[in-house]
Structure 1
Amino acid sequence: MRPSATNQYHLTTLWQLDAPLETVWDVITHPERWPDWWAGAESVVALDAGDPDGIGARQHYTWKGRLPYRLRFTSCVTRVERHRLLEARVVGEVEGIGRWHFAFRDGMTILRYEWLVSTRPLWMNLLAPLARPVFRWNHDALMRAGGLGLARHVCARLHCHETRSS
């Protein structure tokens, strides 16, 4: 059975922080530490370190947003362009690609996160035609918490947080 389009999400989040790019890169590329500063990142367990650039690194994530459910998935880093791009394939209760884009302009580190995934739990897919806006809202709340937590963690100010879906 082919999944319907209602279980597919393309969400993009933009964060702008007045922090050095190298500092932000270092924090984002160590996801096992995310639960220390990112509300909603319940656990990140390192499974494999990958090669010296991080390609092949694997982690198991458990996320809990504002809604009464958790999402669990495993991520494998597939692409690294130092200080520019970090991409991973995810499998589990969501499947697809997560991609961090990094830039530095006018004294600001700009992070754009793309989440191109399909949900797998049957209950989510059955509810998706009606609950899709609520699932997007939950994702936005998690990403807002991440932006604020990252800013606090690196002693910076979050100048922009924006999430879009298509």
Structure 2
Amino acid sequence: MRSAASNQYHLTTLWRLGAPVETVWDVITRPERWPDWWAGAESVVSIEDGDADGIGARQQYIWKGRLPYRLHFISCVTRVERHRLLEAEVVGEVEGIGRWHFVCQDGITTLRYEWLVRTNPLWMNVLAPLARPVFRWNHNALMRAGGIGLARHLGAPLHRHESQSA
């Protein structure tokens, strides 16, 4: 993906949580439960379970941020390295890759989420040259809510939240 196209996004979020990587992994790898703790995750429905490692698992997502629109897409898990990496391809109103990186050091689990996608709705692509910063802000607000919700769900401190975009 070329970052110059107004409908392509490379967004990165970093969460540092005072919880063991195994516990964080168990929660992140159960996306159907995300709406229980992640404000903005309106619906996650399992379509297919995938293999014993989760590869091939498919879910249908509906996300609602602070802006007055919802994004619908389907993800398919394509890569799993237990307690290290979880990657999925997404298709629908956004297309691309979502990738969770897990690192644990001194009892702190660092999660880095990369979202390398392009938007498909015509209205988003028409508005993107001007609205791109607002779309990024909306994504960052959703991710901030996720970090706060995950920390609360785990009963663990959120030591850091950071979002970047390219």
Name the TM tier (shorter chain).
over 0.9
Q: How many residues align?
A: 163
Aligned equivalent of 2:83: 83
> Identity percentage over the alignment?
80
Aligned equivalent of 1:16: 16
Amino acid at match of 1:72: H
Structure 2 portions without partners, runs of 5+: none
Aligned equivalent of 1:122: 122
What does residue range 7-86 of structure 1 map to in structure 2 within 5 Å? 7-86=7-86
Q: Structure 1 CA distance, aligned partners of 2:37 and 2:82? A: 23
Which 4+ stretches in 1 moved above 4 angstroms? none
What does residue range 81-120 of structure 1 map to in structure 2 within 5 Å? 81-120=81-120
Aligned equivalent of 1:142: 142
Structure 1 portions without partners, runs of 5+: none
Displacement of 1:107:
1.5
| Local SS of the residue matching 2:6 | helix
Displacement of 1:106:
2.0
Q: Structure 1 CA distance, aligned partners of 2:16 and 2:107? A: 10
| Local SS of the residue matching 1:6 | coil
So what's the TM-score if we normalise by structure 1? Answer: 0.97
So what's the TM-score if we normalise by structure 2? Answer: 0.97
Amino acid at match of 1:28: I
